[in-house]
Amino acid sequence: MRLSILNNGHRAPQKLLLGLTRLVTGTEPVDVIKVFTYRPEYFGKPFCDLAQLIMRGPSDWTVGERELFGAFTSKLNACAF
């Protein structure tokens, strides 16, 4: 299910950021970026903080191994990012 609000429901600062992203990259931002910026205080910042801890925090696995696990899982799930 695709939430239509992610195409036009952002606040002004997030609209500016998404617009700059379009301008610089020449493409539409991927949906996960739209989710992070839609309600950053609710989902974006907490999720990004958790991802940073998981991917870069203390671990028996190297950063490279964790990146490889993430890429492999994304491939298995046919994820575009």
pLDDT (tens digit per residue) in 30-80: 888 898 898 888 888 999 899 899 999 999 999 999 999 999 998 999 987
Residue at 53 is within a domain? yes
Amino acid letter, residue 49:
D
Q: 36: buried, middle or exposed (CB in 10 Å: 19+, 13-18, 0-12)?
A: middle
| Number of structural domains in the chain | 1
Contacts of 34 (CB under 8 A, 6+ apart): 6, 7, 10, 18
Residue at 36 is within a domain? yes
Residue at 61 is within a domain? yes
| Residue 39: DSSP 8-state | S
CA 78 to CA 73: how far, in whole Å?
9
Residue at 10 is within a domain? yes
Give me 57's structure tokens.
């925090």
* Residue 81 banded pLDDT, cuts 50, 70, 90: low
The residue range of the domain holding 20 is 5-76
* Residue 1 banded pLDDT, cuts 50, 70, 90: low
Whether the pLDDT of residue 2 is over 70: the answer is no
Residue at 81 is within a domain? no
For the whole prediction, is pTM greater than 0.75? no
